[in-house]
Structure 1
Amino acid sequence: MATISIVGSGNMGTAIAGLALAGGNDVQVVARDQAKVAVDPAVTTASFGDALTGDIVVLALPYPALDDVVATYGDQLAGRTVVDITNPLDFSTFDSLVVPADSSAAAELAAKLPGATVLKAFNTNFAATLASGTVGDVTTTVLVAGDDADAKAALTAALDGSAVRVVDAGSLRRARELEALGFLQLTLAAGERTQWTTGFALL
Structure 2
Amino acid sequence: MSTISIIGSGGMAAAIAGRSAKAGHAVEVIGRDTAKAKALADKLGSGARTGTYGAVPAGDIVILAVPYSSAAAVVADYGGALGGKVIIDITNSAAPDLSGLLTPDGSSGAQEIAKGLPGGTQVVKAFNTIFGHVLAKGGRLDAFFAADDAKVKERVSTFLESLGLRPLDVGGLHMAQSLEALGLMMISLAKNGAGTWDFAMRVDVG
**Do Structure 1 and Structure 2 share a fold, with TM-score over 0.5?**
yes
Within-5 A mapping of 1:71-90: 71-90=76-95
Aligned partner of 1:40 in structure 2 is 44
Which residue is 1:198 aligned to? 199
Question: Do structure 1's residue 55 and structure 2's residue 60 form an aligned pair?
Answer: yes
Deviation at 1:146, TM superposition (A): 0.3
In the TM superposition, residue 114 of structure 1 has moved relative to its aligned partner by 4.1
With structure 2 as the length reference, what TM-score do the two structures score? 0.88
- The alpha-carbon deviation at position 192 of structure 1 amounts to 7.0
Determine whether 1:16 maps to 2:3.
Answer: no
Bigger relative contact order, structure 1 or 2, given CA contacts below 8 A and separation 6+?
A: 1
8 Å contact kept, 1:61–1:86: yes
* TM superposition shift of 1:103: 0.6
Check conservation: 1:82, 1:117, Cα contact below 8 A: yes
User: How many Å apart are 1:26 and its aligned residue?
Assistant: 1.4
**Greater percentage in helix:** 2
Q: Unpaired segments of 5 or more residues in structure 1?
A: none
Q: Supply the RMSD in Å over aligned alpha carbons.
A: 1.8
Secondary structure at the counterpart of residue 189 of structure 2: helix
Measure, in 1, the Cα distance between the counterparts of 2:137 and 2:125. 21
Equivalent of residue 75 in structure 2, options 70, 79, 83: 70
Higher mean displacement: 61-70 or 175-184 = 61-70
1:47-101 CA distances to partner (integer Å, 9 max, x unpaired)? 533441110000111001111211111211110100111111111x221101122
Query: Of residues 87, 96, 99 in structure 1, which corresponds to 2:100?
Result: 96
TM-score, with structure 1 as normaliser? 0.89
Distance verdict in 2 for CA 1:27–1:111, change over 3 Å = same
Counterpart of 2:168?
A: 167
| CA distance in structure 2 between the aligned counterparts of 1:149 and 1:22, rounded to whole angstroms | 27
Q: For residues 119 and 31 of structure 1, what CA distance do their matches in structure 2 show? A: 20
* Alpha-carbon distance in structure 2 between the residues aligned to 1:35 and 1:109: 24
Among the aligned pairs, what percent are the same residue?
Answer: 39
Distance, in Å, in 1 between the alignment partners of 2:52 and 2:184 is 29
The answer (yes or no) to whether the contact 2:6–2:63 under 8 Å persists in 1 is yes
Q: Deviations over 1:136-185 (max 9, x none)?
A: xxx31111100011112112222333221111111001100000000111
Equivalent residue for 1:123?
128
> For the residues of structure 1 that align with 2:188 and 2:138, how far apart are their CA atoms?
22
Seen in structure 2, the aligned counterparts of structure 1 residues 161 and 83 have a Cα distance that, compared at 3 Å, is closer
Deviation at 1:189, TM superposition (A): 2.0
Q: Structure 2 counterpart of 1:104, which letter?
A: S
Aligned pairs, number: 198
SS of residue matched to 1:54: coil
Partners in 1 of 2:190 and 2:76 — Cα distance?
32
Unaligned regions of 5+ residues in structure 2, if any?
none
